[in-house]
Amino acid sequence: MTLSVTAALAACAAVPAPPPTVPPPPPCPVMSSSDWRAWVNAMPGPGSRPTLHVQGNVTLPSADWTARFVGSRVMESYPVQVVVELDATSSGMGAQVPVTREVRGSWPSEQNVGAVSVMCHGQTLARISPVKTAY
């Protein structure tokens, strides 16, 4: 009797829920990009500090879209490989005519940067290499 009750209870045991899944990032709305440039300004002077500059053009679905850099991170230490993150948002109020916008960003940096990757929602838009340093 005890064995049959134990077997019956084991059959009714709760099945563990599957682990939660992380939803994929939304797709990048950038239709195309061009004219990417990156450089480090390491010019000497009082209080100066090397600064990485990145700029390029992105084509977005309509005029109500804006694009901006939202951060950067170093992926490798030598030579320094930097990833900059681009985000684009829409107010939802524009005619569906593609528009090209320039984006610019700057961050404190090392003097020698080997390459910069521009990412948007997990998609690589550009890889800029080599990155020149202005002294």
Write out pLDDT tens, residues 17-76: 777 777 776 799 999 999 999 999 999 989 899 999 999 999 999 999 999 999 999 987
Cβ atoms 38, 54 nearer than 8 A: yes
Break the chain into its structural domains and give their ranges: 26-134
